[in-house]
Amino acid sequence: MPALRDSGSRLLIKLCAAVTLTALLTGAPHVSRAQTKGPDNVADVAERVQGAVVNISTSQNVAPSQGVPMPQLPPGSPFEEFFDEFFKNKNDGDQKRSRKVSSLGSGFVIDASGIVVTNNHVIADADEIIVNFTDGTKLKAELIGRDEKVDLAVLRVKPKTPLKAVNFGDSDKTRVGEWVMAIGNPFGLGGSVTVGVVSARNRNIESSLYDDFIQTDAAINRGNSGGPLFNLQGEVIGINTAIFSQTGGSIGIGFSIPSNTVSPLIKQLIATGEIQRGWIGVSIQPVDDQIAESLSLPSTRGALIASVNDKGPAMKGGMLAGDVVIRFNGQDVREMRNLPRIVAGSEIGKTVDVVVIRKGKEQTLKIHVEKLVEPDKIPKRQTNAQPQPQPKQNAALARTLGLDVNALNDELRRRYKFSGNRKGLVITSVDPESNAAEQNIEAGLLLAEVSGEPVGTALELRNRVEVLKKAGKKSALLLIVNPDGEQRFVAVAIP
């Protein structure tokens, strides 16, 4: 995964182990500020659990290079024959040899029979995985299963005697300020113990839909990826995964996947080798201040339904675009990012209660959770970059909300490649100085609704905006659709 943020002086979020992103295994170590005083039982806990923490080394055979190009020499040059022979021999040798690339990470044993947990990015693309134990034992590991979305991998080794194992704790009970301990293999220094506190919970670093990290100031460096974060009862409450850093070394901002996130996934991987997630068939977006004001919501709480799959369980359960989900199967949806994680973890085949706000009132829907089937990667439709001739506008109706629009007719349907069942107004141009332009509304998109009401003519759009303005609304909530059928709500300020 590439660095998540990189703009000059900004901090970089990087994965904590191998591969391309300044992972936690190469480079000069950064000396972080030491804790002035820790709890008295740190040494006892470390002694008790250290034997279950392992170093993981991987190797990958990289295909031979394409060879080094020979320099261009003038015909008849006295060096032509020399260089021809030199580069021929060199390239023939290079192309016959593959290179072996090695990397290091951490992991921990959760079952004495030989089950080891680590990050997926520690073992991704590896041809061979070796697990190194504190007593010097080295065992070859096989991959049981992985979950790229959460960055989790489960391995199996075959020991001659039972291994030292550790248990998961309840990460939901972890408190900010609580002492924690990280053990791992930073820079290849196996068995390194660092101590800190829980700095925050429920952190979103925008690495996936399911982000819900524990943040800690316990030093985590390259090579710590996949290692455990312990509470002082010796229970694993997280898997160390990422850091926030300017240098690639620890500056006291590390992130761990909570144990309550990974525990059920590990059970699935051990049982079936794959992850099954719940699905209801909706696309969602955040509720910002403008959208909350447009929908007369008391706060920005919840997840806004942007579109509903016409063959999905949400549609069958009566969910509509424009609904705001505030509770799913008894769990509060405080913000948009909560909903994918809650739905994914729901029992497949179960019918659950979903509380939504629709037109200012709470309603409870019954939704049947189905299995998520990962879609094939379909390339996006290539749009015509050439400017299109614009239909003539009625000057009196032009530029409502900074938009020029025309009713969707057969000609415009063909030009902008909208399906036959779509209705609304085609946006033909956007005032570059308008709030609509700031909200990334562009020509070629379809305006289907304004604050829950369908619009089919420029006059209907103008009248609808006037009604909102007289009602004291500061913005109009537009339902915008692209030619691929993807929908989103955009709150545009009413001038």
C-alpha distances out from residue 204 to 37, 213, 257, 327, 382, Å: 29, 7, 11, 20, 32
Cα(495)–Cα(493) distance, integer angstroms: 6
Q: Which two tokens stand for residue 140?
A: 């070859």
Cα(342)–Cα(336) distance, integer angstroms: 11
Tell me, yes or no, if 121 is annotated catalytic.
yes
CA 398 from chain center: how many Å? Answer: 40
Q: Which candidate in 147, 151, 211, 217 is catalytic?
A: 151
- Amino acid (one-letter) located at 246: Q
Q: Which candidate in 57, 192, 207, 225 is catalytic?
A: 225
Tell me, yes or no, if 127 is annotated catalytic.
no
Cα(89)–Cα(307) distance, integer angstroms: 61
Cα(287)–Cα(491) distance, integer angstroms: 10
Tell me, yes or no, if 323 is annotated catalytic.
no
Q: Which candidate in 57, 103, 106, 121 is catalytic?
A: 121
Which residues lie below 8 Å from residue 22, measured CB to CB, with a gap of 6+?
3, 12, 14, 222, 248
Cα(336)–Cα(445) distance, integer angstroms: 24
- Amino acid (one-letter) located at 139: L
Cα(391)–Cα(413) distance, integer angstroms: 13
Beta strands in 16-98 (DSSP E): 53-62
CB neighbourhood size of 111 (10 A): 16
Which residues lie below 8 Å from residue 8, measured CB to CB, with a gap of 6+?
none
| Site of tokens 């806004």 | 304
| Helices and strands per DSSP (H, E), number in the chain | 10, 28
Q: Of 436, 433, 431, which Cα lies nearest the Cα of 494? A: 436
Cβ 77 vs Cβ 132: under 8 Å: no
- Amino acid (one-letter) located at 220: I
Length of the chain: 495
Catalytic residues: 121, 151, 225
